[in-house]
Amino acid sequence: MNKITAAITAVGGYVPETKLTNFDLEKMVDTNDEWIRTRTGISERRILKEPGKATSDLGAPAILEVLRKRGISAAEIECIICATVTADMVFPATANIIADKIGATNAFGFDLNAACSGFLFALTTGAAYIESGRYKKVIVVGADKMSAITDYTDRNTCVLFGDASAAVLLEPNEEGLGIQDSLLKSDGSGAKFLHMKAGGSLKPASVESVLAREHYAYQEGQSVFKFAVKGMADVSAELLERNQLTGDDISWLVPHQANLRIVDATANRMGLSKDKVMINIERYGNTTAATIPLCLWEWESKLKKGDNLVLAAFGGGFTWGATLIKWAY
């Protein structure tokens, strides 16, 4: 029997309708469209505005689209892994809430927190379940309602983030297609540059923490930028090298969308021209765990069976990594 690989067999996505443009932000903080576009590549992002709606409300429709496309029922899903830093609640896991919302009554689920690298970490975890033969239908969803932890009085961060979700179905493949290799890394000494100060066990929520605006994403942009440029480019190059590939063998780079300049640096290092790089940061901003599957969702119709894709990310933790995929359909 051939070795079982884990292949993505369908992609779904969901973005809320409300747009927050650079011009809207100009009215909220001391910023301008030109600065945001040239420093980040972002023009607008989507915001989940409706009261009472949470990350699970982004994740559920993305998964329902996957099921519709693949023609399977929610009851057939065996596992849901939700990559997120904006869980509906500290507990239970958002994956469980999503499972309930879509009727995935036979699935177990859990959340995985690896910030902007969350989708790659979750994809690699889901793939291992499939490769071992233990499960045959695993959903990996990246979902983040970043607007819930964004301080709209802080121009350093509020221009960066947006809300979105996208999901993939992983199934066994016997043609050798799907996930080929993954290189994942983390370094907790980077935590000081990108984190949320309060709301965890280190500093539980209090009147003081709220007044000090400590329940929002905090980032030292320049420091993160330096690590991100190097980390994402290095790990992508290392992945190519250990698979004896060059940029010429790669059909698509699917990068985490934090900053267009980081994406360009990674593509240059891999020797890839811009037409081989999926970029939608201008319309969605940084949607944390959702950026990479959101690209797959938007580019799905352009992908061909056998295409080599490199997915690459860098984010809070620090966490970073790259995954090589041979597209399966």
Annotated active-site residue 113? The verdict is no
286 binds ligand UT7 (CB under 6 A): yes
Helix (H) or strand (E) holding 218: strand 217-219
Residues whose CB is less than 8 angstroms from the CB of residue 13 and which lie 6 or more positions away in sequence, other chains included: 62, 65, 164, 165, 166, 167, 290, 293, 294, 297, 298
Of 46-54, 98-106, 254-262, 295-303: span binding ligand UT7 (CB under 6 A): 254-262
Query: What string marks each residue from 55 to 94 as x (binds ligand UT7 by CB under 6 A) or -?
Result: ----------------------------------------
Alpha-carbon distance of 265 to 145, in angstroms, equals 27
Query: Of 189, 201, 222, 244, which lies in the binding site for ligand UT7, with binding defined by CB under 6 A?
Result: 222
In the bound state, the residue with its beta carbon closest to ligand UT7 is 221
- CB contact at 8 A, 220 and 246: no
Alpha-carbon distance of 299 to 143, in angstroms, equals 18
Which of 22, 82, 96, 116 does the annotation list as catalytic? 116
Query: Of 31, 43, 113, 308, which lies in the binding site for ligand UT7, with binding defined by CB under 6 A?
Result: 31
Annotated active-site residue 308? The verdict is no
State CA 56 to chain mean position distance. 15
Which of 22, 96, 259, 286 does the annotation list as catalytic? 286
User: Nearest-CA neighbor of 179 among 285, 72, 254, 94?
Assistant: 254
Instruction: Indicate the residue type of 32.
Output: N
Neighbours of 291 (CB within 10 A): 29
Annotated active-site residue 256? The verdict is yes
Query: Of 221, 230, 276, 300, which lies in the binding site for ligand UT7, with binding defined by CB under 6 A?
Result: 221
Query: Of 8, 104, 159, 235, which lies in the binding site for ligand UT7, with binding defined by CB under 6 A?
Result: 159
Q: Which residues bind ligand UT7 (CB under 6 A)?
A: 31, 35-36, 39-40, 116, 155-156, 159, 221-222, 224-225, 228, 258-259, 262, 286, 314-315
User: Which residues are known catalytic residues?
Assistant: 116, 256, 286
